[in-house]
Chains A and B, each alone.
Chain A
């Protein structure tokens, strides 16, 4: 066995792929490749000749024009155009607050994009870049000037506090010139798309809704040449979070296909509402759900937690023949492509059916579509797929070849019946890399966030790094996880004990079935909801010898007011009852029961689970248990995520490896695999 084990420094080599787009006529595939901390490059594969070239250094979000000869992309916050035959590059926009999500019109004459606008600002001013030097100054001052807060929705994780700007739609000609602003008001607008004739742009927005309900979005249309905004739907909520669904026009321009939240479950009490396909007449006169019950999939979106697959813009498209909507959906830990009949008797059938996870699908052409594929084997690539049969025709990219020399570990999955008999849990066990026969290894239970996402037949290099350091990694989908149906996906069960029992049972099952796991040396780790669960375990269970809690929830009363997804006390007549109820549900309230060393990792700029959770949790443990090792590491510039920058990310994983190494490993277990 000559292959080396994974180490955190591998993140410097890891290539993240995104934005793949295919043009069948020109046999071109364009995508973005960002190698650990380096400027991302836009690459083009000539799929006929099998050659690949770098088109742009320092660009992202490449989009091929409909004729396949031009490329728009983002660089330094602006939209640029690259002409493939002439290799000429030109900047198209000078948006003061930057441009995002450019989409070609069907004729290739225009590009519709998003840009933040200061409310009430002049369109010319918004398209004028400040003098060099003052831009930085301005950006800096924007972070320092007082923020006036008058309503809900004043901050958003990853974006910071809402400055007096909102996201608006703009259109710019591919030939250049001034851009035209299509929307107004103090609201955000997103998920724009073109009508086939290029006359109309559709989008979703909460512009007619109460800001207290951030997920209530309606469908709108606006002439691409500017004009009155027309509200197409007012009943349903268009899906925007956690998995967005960009509305699609049918080729004849008569209908719009969109994902809408299940109207019966919008109270969020027991479930995240499922997202169903709707066929909506372009004039709003008809809104038909085309997602029958008894289909092979639960909804028309998916939320896999670990994929290793490249990112694409969209996970739904209209088929080449215009008869189907192709979409990606998660079932039983797999992500496959399905298709729904747009007309006639509603019907949904699988296009692919494998234990893998297809995360995105590009616009089908000539019966083929580019898809991004993740598997349990390794970091994924883009493939060309037969849109009717699901057969993979050709591999489009060949990245992350360095993995060939690494002793990647392969997970085995297992199922078990829940103790309460109400459901089954699906999980995976990743053995340590280069495992020796007969030896017993420490293990870590990794708990996913959400609780709505699901662990998939996918790949997460962080798991390999743990396996490389000599730990078995156990991960599963307890109650609350999606892809296993409504009964399993219960939100209450995720928070009120059932998922906790599922996880404990999973650990026991894994130990029972895999003799290489040392049942006395098990740690628990997780982020966000996973961190919430780790905190719960730390004060309610004696099963674990070390904990790592990431971006976690410690006190529901802190979430109530300081999360960007603020809670509600409406059901409580007296506010103090609400507070007591929150405290009952919060791990910090049981700090005296802390059972093992805990490492608390949190981003200073986290606005989803604000850093106050970490401050209070650390203080409570330290205050009450000065004798148990407790450590907190705060990461500047880090939102509700693991640190994005490579040096911080390696620091972060090193801290995890050291913590588990210190408190789980025995001498001779593993070498230092920190970066």
Chain B
């Protein structure tokens, strides 16, 4: 008999990312990442898939490799390698050439792009202004020297004068910034092209004479917003091309074939709310930027949609790519539960799916012939490499030896009749007929995100432990059109939608309605908290990176300011502002919590600071001392612990979650305290 998926299996997952097709279409490069044996970090390798021989080989060389990119003539492969210390750009000639290190930036290289003629590489690197002045930014340190430098740096006092001085994942900003530069493939010291403002994601014009990139010129509350810039390759004649748009900057700028405009991602504002990541063309001649998508089209969704809750690790690739003939823009899009590749006709503005189905494309690239090479996962299989609908790799074959829980889709009309909620139910891995199982409602973060048809080890570990796993896209989710998200739906309607979904799932007959747990992270943690106190439908809860008290999260988290929409008015009162935040906080309902709660929180979480977990923990401990409550703190982990956390901590995090539900839904179901009768089902909003 097969074994179930357990949290420890995270250590076995092989994550594919960054597919890159050689110009001749005969070799595909991709990145494979996995936990190191120590479980302290992830390591990655580049693999080359030979289309003719149908086999893959690992790119040789020391260190960890990622971000493969073919030279325009296809004779060289450039990539990032940490063989010398930090990640640097290396180049290898395919025909038996040696590996050659191209950059030696002190803090390494984050990403890079080939020039169209293949003679140069534009790159992005972290710099400190003082290191530019004394040129030390161009000298690499050994891994040991760098570790020593970092340890010393970590001991230095941090002086702060700017409002936005910290960011989750980056920690407290220390005066360093991202800069872009150009390195010649023939060698020599690279030249920085833009380093006086934070500058990132460089891209080349078609004729190779210009660079486009994103920069952050603002201070104060707008310090994190970015604008589109162009400059000459040497950094001269830098020009800011945007000013009134909410530029996303999440995918590299892309010049049109004729270099008349640069295409970028933008979040347009809608009077009724809602989040769409759209594409805009920004004319080089200073003309008005224009949206590429037809906003009046029936299925106006823009690109991406932020699919989450899936097993993915590695560099996120570009969200869109221009077809070789320049007529189409290909892009990733999550739509009604599937994540596929669509394309937009730049002339007619019509869109059409290219790769689409009950699966999730995680990354893609185009071959010269215009075919799509992509990585794709399904609810029962971890992402592998695909081309023309055919799977090319099988790095996660070990999964076949496990009992993977089957998924079934369930669509539930909302109680207000205005929408249909799409959701999924993973059966317990070893389900027997006629048995009723405990279940866990999983609410993902966002809310401007989507659950997609993909493999997610958190769900599988719960199913493997004997739970049915329920998850859905309530209102507020992306992938269902603008109307689905508007009018504050994520905060006003999603709770009802989630309960309607649970109710429909229970009606399927194999879920024990008295033993349903709920969990979620961030926005999901917020909703889980809300459902626990307001419905009585759940018997245990796990709140991950919770946001429960907005009057203490002010200034301790990295976002959310009184001056977010401009300077505060003259009669602004901080007391009123903080009181309002307090009153909107779920912690006001702490006395209504009646079930065991586990809190999981990273100590380096700057989005929802660790103090948020302490607010909940101390208040519950003090006011409901009879309730089981446990808080597990993960040093050094951020808001992204389940995605980029150390493998050892990801495993522990997931084990804690599974064990809590096992204990309180299976082994020792929580009976409540003296006479607290559970409300009948009808009254519980089910």
CA distance A568 to B619 in the complex (A): 9
Instruction: Given A561-B617, A569-B622, check contact A632 B160 (CB 8 Å).
Output: yes
CB-defined interface of B280-307 with A at 8 Å, one 1/0 digit per residue?
0000000000000000000000000000
Q: What is the CA–CA distance of A557 and B221 in the complex, to the nearest angstrom?
A: 25
User: In the complex where A616-B556, A624-B574, A636-B154 touch, is A144 in contact with B636 (Cβ < 8 A)?
Assistant: yes
Cβ of A648 < 8 Å from any Cβ of B?
Answer: yes
Task: Assess whether B424 is interfacial by the CB under 8 Å rule.
Answer: no
Least CB distance, B271 to chain A, in whole angstroms: 27
Is A399 at the interface (CB under 8 A from chain B)?
no
| With contact pairs A149-B632, A569-B622, A619-B555 given, residues A592 and B163 touching in the complex (Cβ less than 8 Å) | no
- Identify which of residues 573-626 in chain A touch chain B, using a CB-to-CB cut-off of 8 Å: 574-576, 579-580, 583-584, 588-592, 610, 612, 615-620, 622-624, 626
Q: Does A562 contact B (CB under 8 A)?
A: yes
What chain A residues lie within 8 Å of B231 (beta carbons)? none
CB distance from B93 to the nearest CB of A (A): 42
Partner of A612, one of B591, B609, B623, B635: B609
Measured between beta carbons, the chain B residues less than 8 angstroms from A24 are none
The answer to whether A616 touches B614, judged by C-beta atoms less than 8 angstroms apart, is: no
B392 interfacial contact with A, CB 8 Å: no
Of the candidates B158, B556, B622, the one whose C-beta lies within 8 Å of that of A633 is B158
Q: In whole angstroms, what is the CA distance A635 to B172 when docked?
A: 12
Contact of A637 among B155, B163, B611 (CB under 8 A): B155
In the bound complex, do residue B587 and residue A575 qualify as a contact, i.e. CB atoms below 8 Å apart?
yes
Grouping DSSP codes into helix (H, G, I), strand (E, B) and loop, the B interface class, with mixed when no group exceeds half, is mixed
A151 closest partner in B (C-beta)? B621
Contact present for B611 and A561 (CB under 8 Å): yes
Q: How far is the CA of A617 from the CA of B162 in the complex (A)?
A: 13
Bound-complex Cα distance A149 to B603 (A) = 13
Find out whether the CB atom of B561 lies under 8 angstroms from the CB atom of A561: no
Q: Please provide the chain A residues from 144 to 162 with a CB less than 8 Å away from any CB of chain B in the complex.
A: 144-152, 161
Q: In the bound complex, do residue A145 and residue B635 qualify as a contact, i.e. CB atoms below 8 Å apart?
A: yes
Give complex CA distance A575, B587 in Å.
8
Decide: A144 and B635 in contact? CB cutoff 8 A.
Answer: yes
**Bound Cα distance A145, B656 (Å):** 14
A149 touches B575 (CB 8 A): no
Residues on B with C-beta less than 8 A from A126 are none
From known contacts A592-B572, A626-B567, infer whether A612 and B562 are also in contact, taking CB-CB under 8 Å: no
Contact with A along B574-596 (1 / 0, CB 8 A): 11001100110101101100000
Question: Cβ of A146 and Cβ of B562 under 8 Å apart?
Answer: no
A631 within 8 A of B: yes
Interface contact B555-A618, CB-CB below 8 Å: yes
* B554: chain A residues within 8 A (beta carbon): 616, 619-620
**Are A575 and B591 neighbours in the complex by a CB distance under 8 Å?**
yes
Which partner residue on chain B sits nearest A148 by CB separation?
A: B632
A561 touches B614 (CB 8 A): yes
CA distance A615 to B562 in the complex (A): 15
Q: Which residues of B contact A144 (CB under 8 A)?
A: 635-636
Query: Which A residues are in CB contact (< 8 Å) with B623?
Result: 569-570, 575
Instruction: For the complex, give the distance between the alpha carbons of A451 and B630 in Å.
Output: 33
A146 x B633 contact (CB < 8 A):
yes
B94 lies within 8 A of chain A by Cβ: no
Q: Is B53 an interface residue (CB 8 A)?
A: no
Q: How far is the CB of B23 from chain A (nearest CB, A)?
A: 45
Check B556 against A149 for contact (C-beta < 8 Å). Answer: no
Assembled-state Cα–Cα distance A149/B652 (Å): 15
Q: Find out whether the CB atom of A575 lies under 8 angstroms from the CB atom of B631.
A: no
Can you report 22 A-B residue pairs in the complex whose CB atoms are below 8 A from each other? A148-B631, A148-B632, A149-B630, A151-B621, A555-B552, A566-B618, A568-B622, A570-B623, A575-B588, A575-B590, A576-B588, A579-B582, A579-B585, A579-B587, A583-B579, A612-B552, A612-B611, A615-B556, A615-B609, A624-B568, A636-B154, A648-B157
Residues in B lying within 8 Å of A, measured CB to CB: 154-163, 165-166, 172, 220-221, 549, 551-552, 554-556, 561-563, 567-568, 572-575, 578-579, 582-583, 585, 587-588, 590-591, 609, 611, 614-615, 617-619, 621-623, 629-636, 649, 652
Known: A555-B552, A620-B555, A633-B159. 10 other contacts (CB 8 A): A146-B635, A560-B615, A575-B623, A579-B587, A610-B611, A619-B555, A620-B562, A623-B561, A623-B563, A636-B155
Q: Which 5 A-B pairs have the closest CB atoms?
A: A619-B555, A616-B555, A589-B575, A561-B618, A149-B631
